[in-house]
Amino acid sequence: MTIIFDSFPDITDAERASKFLHECLAQNAIEASNYSLDLCLASLSIEPQILETLRAAHAARDWERIKELCVYFRRNAWRFNFRLAEFNKDISRIKVTDLANGKLKRSVYVPEEEERKRTASAAEMTSFIRNLQIPLGDREEIPLVILYKLGRFQNDPLLRERLDGIFSPSHHTFLVNTSGSGKTKLLFEGLCQHWGFYFTFAMDGSGLGPNDLAHIPTNLNWTPKWKQYLPPSSDPQYASLLQTNLQLVHNAFGGALLARLFVFKLFLEACSKEGFCHDHRQRWLEAQLLPDDLANLCDPFNMLQLDVRHAEVDGSVIDEAIAQMLEEIQEIWDMPSGEFLYIALDEANVPSREYLRAFADEHGQYPLLKAVIRSWQQRLGHLPVRFVVAGTVIPQEYFPSATDEWDDWRWSSDTDSFNNPESQWRYVSQFLPPEFEASEDGQVLMRQMWYWLRGRHRYTASYLTLLLANRFESPLYLLKGFIRGLAKYVHFEHIEYGGEEADRYIDWVSELGSNGLERGPISRIEMHRAVIAYLTTSKGCLDCETKDRALVTQDYGYFVDTECRRIALDEPLMIIYGAGWLKNSEHSAATTMFKTFDSKYPIPLRPSHFALFLALSFASTFDGFSNVLDAFKIYGGPLSLALVAKLVLFSKKAKDRPEPTDVHFSEHSPKRLVLEAGSAEDMLSWFKHERDEPFCLLQSSLGSSVTLAFCLELQDGQRFWVFVHVPEDFTGEDSPSFIEDIRHASPASLFDEQPEIISLLAELPNLSPDVGPLGVLRVSGSFRVEKASEDSIPSAHQPAAILNVTSLEEAGKKISQDMLMRRLARIFSDDTSDRPLRREQPQQLESSLPSRKGARRKRSVAGSTSTTRISTRSKSKDHALNVASGSGSAGPTDIKKRRRNNASSSAPTRRPDIGGSGPGTSNTKATVRQRLKKITAVATGHASPGVPPPEPSENTSRYHLRKRARL
């Protein structure tokens, strides 16, 4: 190869050096070289190191070194396109070494301290919180609770098993559940265990994750060749327009993928210098979640993908670049057999509803999400890759498992929840000062948190954020404000005022949102059913309607199984919020209004729902003597006269005669209104008067019809049973079969397999003989009573009755809605199980707790500071909590830039604000900041944004705990 050196004796000049490089490439080419002289010259300008290496190798006539340089050139030739000048400039700023080797020290959260509150006890509490080492994000006033003890799931067998089912080498995963259920946390923890990429289609106020995908869908509409609405398939241009759309998506999202792969390659190179270890996976995740650490840029991932987009290079250049990156990655990282690279796509509910008329295949039209997954699967085919796609709603019809393409995708809703006090306590106790946790006040708070915040994880985590920000002061006052802010309901009537600072944090909280109730008929009727169920049975609904997954989509319900099949609506905060909305009698569905069942719904109404509603109505109507005709229209018998009766409950002690007790319906009694008899034993127990519920709901052995049983007492002391049979189609438009209802309500029909109950009916003391066989008034529970006539119930089946819906409706208007709300609150906080909040009490503390006046005490636990006693006791002085009027100072309004300190000393705390904003942001940034300033949007990581309409919209989370702006 001496000839080539002789041909170019001097390459000092860049132009001659480029010609020399061009000739070397031709000599080393396995295939014909198609690199131009201009490209060679551009490479020397873009990357001066190439010129230096080339000159050194030329001077030493080192052909082997030149061959290595030619290999490097071919791998990076795509970057030497003059259009990618900004891309090359930006990648030179990225520094990964300190992050890869674990030397980077990140800022940790420390609560703000007002000058007037800088006491010794406050300093101790601040020190305790600092020692928790909770990571700090973009906003220095808010701790990133979601990142606390990141990676700990791998040490818990149950959590590890859950992750293994989601991040599985045997299948891809669609992870679907309601907002705040913990999907994002699972993605983070899975990527601590596996190499992979975290992408999100919508950013929220936490600032976690790159912003490289969120604005791409909107930008597509600014692309001249983009067609948001394809013409009919018969149009001659249909095929070409469809292909253009697919290519535009391929290019746009390919740029984001290329940027991620390039930085990943740099990270792997840094890891390989000291040898790979398991911790590198978590460090790579943290680099993606907190991308500012990578460079002096707001978001280098977003910056690089914007560089690619603005370069407007041909799609083939992106394809070549991605293929080259994959090849280099595999050379650096010798992936063990059976291991996969996991691509986590968060907030996939956004693209799952976007551009529904811009794409189509043999199965019909489909959304942007499907196009993106297909594009990335095609490009990542060189690597063993698994996708984990998470969101609140991903329509399953677009990904049919019956087809070969999607048969290795599994649908999962295995997010779990705080469904028992022990699991919630284990989580909360990580953040509490030991003295407070062990104190009586701490136990009071833990119980109240369980009563009100059980269910999805975000409720508990968001409240903890307020508690940390306020340094554990006024915890019950904060909880009261938290509940009021979310659910618009005031609990804890007599709580000591927590001060202006507490009010400022409470003002961060915004309500759950009623759009789903106003516009979603399924959510509206199921919320009504859940509220009625709680008021009557003290239980929520675990068998909610799964049609369209509406309750999950609109964030009211959540999946309680692992395979997206069972939806529950039973969380106290959501129920009390729904009940508050249903209080308004003007709504089409109102708590005590019969008109609720006169509306049209896309799902059949359940007879048990109407029966429980009737129980609530009867309990109010017969709370004291009332005219029987106010509830029933009776055919035949003496009850057709104006007789009055009251609701009674019989109880029997040992072998004594059953004694009646008047039932007065209030917020406190009866404790449970209805027994849902799910077994023969339950029915027998109730008719033996061994239960405390005045109503019993009997399930039919055939179909879903039910019968409601209870007992009334007349003024003369006579008693009788009432059996109201609600048929399966109780709201049917066709003429109801009242006579069939009467037949099904007869004791012989109900208890044909339990004759002992029939004998118990006759044992009721002072049983009236005039209402029907065995003292049972049989009532049709059909709703369409306006279709009844005088001969609807023949004389042979009399006495019998139908509902007096008109009178019951008027009586329903008189039921105190505030009383019902208080009853719900009592039900939520009624600890009937006496179940301890933890499995065992901690050892006796060495010292007593400090007094309420702030006296300091000795340390009780090694390594932790002592803390002041935190009062949660009720006070006689009742200060009004007015979140809406903002009685305290205003909440935070500025989003501050996170600063990092790479010093090897202890983790730093906050830095002075230097302001500034990152590139690539939209012109609505100020508005978005206002939306995102609420604590529940940022405390615990990403929350699902509102499901957008088919047309694209700005992909920024628009609500806080629910973050829903549109349906």
**pLDDT band with cut points at 50, 70 and 90 for residue 192:** very high
Inter-axis angle of helices 157-166 and 183-193, to 10 degrees?
90
Q: Which residue has the higher pLDDT, 105 or 846?
A: 105
With H, G, I as helix, E, B as strand and everything else as coil, classify residue 477: helix
pLDDT mean over 619-635: 95
Contacts within 8 Å (CB) and 24+ apart, 882-886: 883/481, 883/484, 883/485, 883/503, 883/506, 883/507, 883/509, 886/503, 886/507
Neighbours of 648 (CB within 10 A): 17
Determine the pLDDT at residue 803. Answer: 97
The answer to whether 802 and 780 are in contact (CB under 8 A) is yes
CA distance 479 to 105: 34
Determine the pLDDT at residue 894. Answer: 39
Determine the pLDDT at residue 586. Answer: 82
Tens-digit pLDDT profile for residues 100-114: 998 888 899 998 876
CB contact set of 191 (below 8 Å; sequence gap of 6+): 198, 281, 282, 284, 285, 342, 344
Q: Which of 203-212, 764-773, 814-823 has the lowest mean pLDDT?
A: 203-212
With H, G, I as helix, E, B as strand and everything else as coil, classify residue 776: strand
The DSSP 8-state label assigned to residue 702 in this structure reads S
Determine the pLDDT at residue 269. Answer: 95
The answer to whether 487 and 512 are in contact (CB under 8 A) is yes
The answer to whether 343 and 199 are in contact (CB under 8 A) is yes
Neighbours of 702 (CB within 10 A): 7
The answer to whether 542 and 568 are in contact (CB under 8 A) is yes
The winner for highest mean pLDDT among 141-145, 838-842, 904-908 is 141-145
Determine the pLDDT at residue 548. Answer: 84
CA distance 434 to 299: 39
Determine the pLDDT at residue 769. Answer: 87
Of 446, 479, 456, 457, whose CA–CA distance to 838 is shortest? 446
Tokens 């009592």 found at: 826
CB contact set of 367 (below 8 Å; sequence gap of 6+): 351, 352, 353, 354, 355, 356, 359, 395, 398
- DSSP track, 509-575: ------HHHHH-HHHHHHHHHHHHHHHHHS--EEEE--GGGHHHHTTS-EE-SSSS--EEE--HHHH
**pLDDT band with cut points at 50, 70 and 90 for residue 914:** very low
* Phi/psi at 905 (5° precision): -80, -170
pLDDT-above-70 percentage for the chain: 84
* Phi/psi at 175 (5° precision): -105, 110
Helix ranges restricted to H, 709-850: 738-744, 747-750, 755-762, 805-813, 817-828
CA distance 618 to 630: 10
Q: Which residue has the higher pLDDT, 900 or 558?
A: 558
User: Residue 175 pairs with which residues in a beta bridge?
Assistant: 390, 412
Determine the pLDDT at residue 879. Answer: 39
Q: Which residue has the higher pLDDT, 857 or 521?
A: 521
Of 750, 487, 779, 739, whose CA–CA distance to 617 is shortest? 779
pLDDT > 60? residue 911: no
Inter-axis angle of helices 421-428 and 440-453, to 10 degrees?
120
pLDDT > 90? residue 809: yes
Secondary structure E strands in 578-731: 626-627, 632-635, 644-651, 659-662, 674-677, 695-699, 706-714, 719-726
Determine the pLDDT at residue 657. Answer: 80
Determine the pLDDT at residue 615. Answer: 97
pLDDT > 60? residue 896: no
pLDDT mean over 491-496: 81
With H, G, I as helix, E, B as strand and everything else as coil, classify residue 930: helix
CA distance 130 to 147: 15
The DSSP 8-state label assigned to residue 80 in this structure reads G
Strand order across the 385-391 sheet: 196-200, 341-346, 385-391, 172-176, 409-412
pLDDT-above-90 percentage for the chain: 65
pLDDT > 90? residue 131: yes
CA distance 413 to 406: 18
Two tokens, residue 622: 């017969």
Determine the pLDDT at residue 26. Answer: 87
Determine the pLDDT at residue 934. Answer: 52
Task: Give me the count of residues in the chain.
Answer: 967
pLDDT mean over 470-477: 93
Two tokens, residue 567: 């939806």
Domain boundaries, the chain: 2-80, 115-412, 419-592+824-876, 607-814
pLDDT mean over 747-767: 92
Determine the pLDDT at residue 851. Answer: 35
CA distance 655 to 257: 77
pLDDT mean over 283-311: 90
Tens-digit pLDDT profile for residues 44-91: 988 899 999 999 999 999 999 999 999 999 888 998 988 998 999 998
Helix ranges restricted to H, 622-731: 680-687
Q: What is the mean pLDDT of the chain?
A: 84
pLDDT > 60? residue 284: yes
Q: Which residue has the higher pLDDT, 902 or 826?
A: 826
pLDDT > 90? residue 499: no
pTM of the shown model? 0.84
Determine the pLDDT at residue 922. Answer: 36
The answer to whether 526 and 557 are in contact (CB under 8 A) is yes
Determine the pLDDT at residue 764. Answer: 93
Determine the pLDDT at residue 32. Answer: 52
pLDDT mean over 388-401: 95
Q: Which of 85-99, 111-125, 780-794, 816-830 has the lowest mean pLDDT?
A: 111-125
Determine the pLDDT at residue 531. Answer: 98
pLDDT > 60? residue 967: no
Neighbours of 550 (CB within 10 A): 24
